[in-house]
Amino acid sequence: MASKTRLSALFGAASLTLAASGAAAATNPDAIKGDWWTEERDAIVRIDERDGVFFGELLWTEEADAKDDENPAPELRTRPLRGLVFLKGFRFDDGEWSGGSVYAPDDGKTYSGYMKLDGPDTLKLRGYVGLRLFGRTATWSRVASDSYPEGVK
């Protein structure tokens, strides 16, 4: 059952909207790039950009041999989660990264998504179905240079 909880907070607890932010909207598309702790600090996600499109890869998971065992495609259930690109297709517009998809390894489903910065070191990721109202928001923290797990950089 460890695999069921390995990324239990990929999104975090359900909520209706992103928390109101006192921080100014991001104006630099690259501000989101870097490494982020998930809410439960059981994974590190590396967000990067290629040709104006942002994506996120699972760089590290607490469970070293975690597999994509909830994937609806049986042939993909043995692939490792480390290295999996699960955030895809995000573009920066008007202070947020939107239009992308979020694959949730804990339930094997893919959701629409958007991301916003709440200050330079806090990221709000929202995955939803249909309307933004129907989803979950996770709060991630930027990985400090001295807080990487051993062997990760």
**Inside any domain, residue 16:** no
**Inside any domain, residue 18:** no
Report the relative pairing of strands 135-142 and 43-50 from DSSP bridges.
unpaired
Domains of the chain: total: 1
Distance CA 94, CA 51 (A): 18
Distance CA 142, CA 119 (A): 10
The pLDDT score that the predictor gives to residue 9 is 45
CATH number at residue 69: 2.40.128.520
**Inside any domain, residue 38:** yes
**Inside any domain, residue 36:** yes
Domain limits at 90?
2-10+31-142
Work out the number of other CB atoms within 10 angstroms of the CB of residue 62: 16
Q: What amino acid occupies position 81?
A: L
Phi then psi for 78, rounded to 5 degrees?
-100, 0
The pLDDT score that the predictor gives to residue 25 is 61
What pTM does this model have?
0.83
For the chain (153 residues), the mean pLDDT of every run of 10, in chain order, is 45 37 68 97 97 97 96 97 98 96 96 96 96 92 94 79
Query: How open is the CA angle 2-148-119, to the nearest 5 degrees?
Result: 100
